[in-house]
A and B are shown apart, each in its own frame.
Chain A
Amino acid sequence: MTDGTPLLEARGVTRILPGIVPVTLVENISIVFGHGEFVSITGPSGSGKSSLLYLLGLLDVPTTGEVFINGVSTAELNKTERAETRLKTIGFVFQFHFLLPEFSALDNVMLPMRKLGLRDAVEMRESAAGLLSALGLEEHLHKRPDQLSGGQRQRVAVARALANDPPLILADEPTGSLDSRSTEQVFHILKKIVDNEGRTVIAVTHEMDFAAATERRIHLVDGRVAQDEAQSPASAMRGGGPEALGSHAQS
């Protein structure tokens, strides 16, 4: 993991929406992400933070520039190959949980595992149950999304993002629709993923508390990187969550 190759790299990425009046979403962005980083992307509405996340997550294709994963360019991949890369190396968490409503929490977490199809049913079940239990949901394995609270649903979504053990988690406003208590919970979970498991989490957020508590903050303005500052690990350690770091929420 630490052979020097960055986990994720954007090199001169520009995304322009074609149209009568072409709209530039992000412009000439070059960023490198290593393993075990906890990164927040902030910026005003329309600054292109979500667009950048989708480009990094291979959900969208840059107009110019390239995205590298583990040092390999993704520019030449077709739709199916990009889907496969997402399945294996990227976990997504969105503002809304997007759980399949007819499936139980356990089945929702098993969905990416079953798609990858590397393990047998018993293993997948155990692994999914383990992920959910680690997020404090051991009582709710067989409940459907509509029987869970908003915070619980979002934790199921995080468990689903972790299902195939990806090195990279991309989160788009993961706490955007949660109350402060749930926000804190989700934040701690994400932090634990970074600190204990060495994964990289990149989270788009407009909550300054959340952003302030991350180790690295990227600020976008008008589709460009305005600021990319790494907080000292010490101060990040001292802070346990967004509430505790409320006073630092200025970037």
Chain B
Amino acid sequence: MHLIADIAATHIRGRGRQTFLSIAGVAMGVGFSIMMASLMQGSQEDFIDTLIDTIPHIAIEDEERHPPVQPASMTFDAVKIEGLRPREKLRGIRNADGIIASLESWLPGDVAPNLTGQAVIRYAGKDLSVTVVGIDVDAERLVSTIDDDMREGSLDDLNTTANGLVVGDGVLDRLGAKVGDLVTVTSPVGVVRKFKIVGSFHTGAVANDNGLGYTLLKTAQVIQDKANVVNRIRIRLDDVNASTPIAARLESQFGYKAESWEEANEGLMEAFLIRNIIMFTVVAAILIVAGFGIFNIISQITHEKAHDIAIMKSLGFPESDIIRIFVIEGLAIGAAGSLLGCVFGFALCQALGQVEFEFAATTEVTRLPLMYSVWHYAIASGFALGSAAVAGWLPARNAARLNPVDIIRGAA
């Protein structure tokens, strides 16, 4: 064995219990860090999965990012034109059929047209304002999970019932209606129609459950008085992570605002970033504390081995050798602790994965969301090794500076 490593090994071997405690300290730090990272990232992934299941990956809206330039501004080279009245435009995505046909030809995913508008549902003297979304049942199934959230009836009933309406279960509760009842729907443009409630859904998102209804696209176009108009195209991609670049491409191609789920949930992404920063801070703190254990044992060794250090220096070992001895000791403890910690962390994750929860609202059994990633193990071990090296180096540097003469004199 190499001389320096040989000497380092004798120091560690001579103090089994203390070494074991330091290793255990590092192992606990690494283990808990891994567990925490796994849980934090797992819950984040789980949340995002749930989130992007309920919303489109990309939504093309009948809006533009910037107000359109008025023809007058293009004609006259003026600084400012006052008193212009903007041209009234029929809202909606122009040539929606063309856009959808184009998207279906190349986009890796599914596309569904919507017409979203407000309406008031009246039943038994109660009024309730809801958002009514006109959908193409077969296309909508591919881009949203609404089919899975159906409580009563099904989306197919929309196709078989004239003026059928599917609403959230909260809407039914608030109206006091039930599936099969007839309700009156009044649109902002004054169209009034009788609708039959053919189904209800429960998504878990209160805003949707208490204020959303689905009907056929054609029916929605009638009550909103917008024949053949689509004001929203929902896209579900095969690869969620490609949504931002694809959204940018769609926007430049069609001129309409195309919003990716990441953009729509910018605040949430920021929250996740902050959560991750907190997590890494705590992980770092745990491992630094573990580093103190190493610092403690190494500085104790350097004190006890002052005579050895003095004699080695007088024999002709340079300071760098002395430092190396103790850094190797720190690293050895750190490495053993990391290895043990990885096993411990994996075991903790496995144990947590066994824990089952039952929510009162749903009867399904939920497990803790855990994410397994080699990175968690690599980062925790790397950090532990780094802090171990520093914890060894600090006392080693002081020990190496000792003047052998002082110690030899002191012993005499």
Interface residues of A (CB under 8 A from B): 50, 54, 57, 59-60, 79-80, 83-88, 90, 92, 94-96, 98-103, 111-112, 114-116, 160, 172-173, 176
A83:B316 contact, CB within 8 angstroms: yes
Instruction: List the B side residues contacting A112 at CB < 8 Å.
Output: 315-316
B274 at the interface (CB under 8 A from A): no
B110 at the interface (CB under 8 A from A): no
Instruction: List the A side residues contacting B3 at CB < 8 Å.
Output: 111, 114-115
B336 at the interface (CB under 8 A from A): no
274-331 of chain B: CB within 8 A of chain A: 307-308, 310-321
Interface residues of B (CB under 8 A from A): 3, 7, 10-11, 13-14, 307-308, 310-321, 403-405, 408-409, 411-412
B308:A86 contact, CB within 8 angstroms: no
Report the minimal beta-carbon distance from B407 to chain A, rounded to whole angstroms: 9
B316:A84 contact, CB within 8 angstroms: yes
Report the minimal beta-carbon distance from B396 to chain A, rounded to whole angstroms: 16
Partner pick for A98 among B10, B307, B317, B321, CB 8 A cutoff: B307
Instruction: List the A side residues contacting B411 at CB < 8 Å.
Output: 94-96, 98
With A54-B405, A111-B3 known as contacts, the answer to whether A80 contacts B320 (CB < 8 A) is yes
A79:B412 contact, CB within 8 angstroms: no
A101 to B11, CA, bound (A): 10
With A54-B405, A80-B319, A173-B412 known as contacts, the answer to whether A86 contacts B14 (CB < 8 A) is no
Report the minimal beta-carbon distance from B74 to chain A, rounded to whole angstroms: 78
B401: nearest chain-A partner, CB-CB: A79
B315:A92 contact, CB within 8 angstroms: yes
Instruction: List the A side residues contacting B310 at CB < 8 Å.
Output: 98
With A102-B14, A103-B10, A111-B3 known as contacts, the answer to whether A59 contacts B314 (CB < 8 A) is yes
Report the minimal beta-carbon distance from A239 to chain B, rounded to whole angstroms: 27
Instruction: List the B side residues contacting A50 at CB < 8 Å.
Output: 409, 412
Q: List 10 A-B contacts (CB under 8 A).
A: A79-B318, A83-B313, A86-B315, A94-B408, A94-B411, A95-B411, A100-B7, A100-B10, A112-B315, A172-B412
A133 to B67, CA, bound (A): 99
Instruction: List the B side residues contacting A114 at CB < 8 Å.
Output: 3
Partner pick for B405 among A59, A85, A95, A111, CB 8 A cutoff: A59
With A54-B405, A59-B314 known as contacts, the answer to whether A102 contacts B307 (CB < 8 A) is no
A102 to B312, CA, bound (A): 14
Instruction: List the B side residues contacting A98 at CB < 8 Å.
Output: 307-308, 310-311, 408, 411
Supplied contacts A80-B318, A94-B411, A102-B10, 14 more A-B pairs, CB within 8 Å: A80-B320, A83-B318, A84-B318, A90-B316, A94-B412, A95-B411, A96-B412, A98-B310, A98-B411, A100-B10, A101-B308, A111-B312, A116-B316, A173-B412
Instruction: List the A side residues contacting B7 at CB < 8 Å.
Output: 100
